[in-house]
């Protein structure tokens, strides 16, 4: 129960919302790859 309480606390603080990777760059790369495939 102590572990669960600690995990709930961490998830509710800034650690739970911190992003380690910007997914927008990957999304743009994926869109570029799709357009290259369509263009042939």
Q: Where are the domains of the chain?
A: 2-39
Q: What is the pLDDT of residues 3-32, one digit of tens each?
A: 999 988 887 777 656 667 777 888 888 888
Residue with tokens 């606390």: 9
Cβ contact 10:16 at 8 Å: yes
* pLDDT score, position 9: 86
**Residue environment code for 16-40, b if the CB has 16+ CB neighbours within 10 A, otherwise e:** eeeeeeeeeeeeeeeeeeeeeeeee
The span from the CA of 37 to the CA of 16, in Å, is 37
pTM of the model as a whole: 0.37
């Amino acid at each position: 129960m102590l572990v669960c309480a600690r995990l709930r606390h961490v998830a509710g603080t800034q650690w739970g919302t911190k992003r380690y990777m910007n997914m927008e760059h990957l999304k743009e790369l994926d869109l570029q790859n799709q357009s290259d495939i369509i263009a042939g």
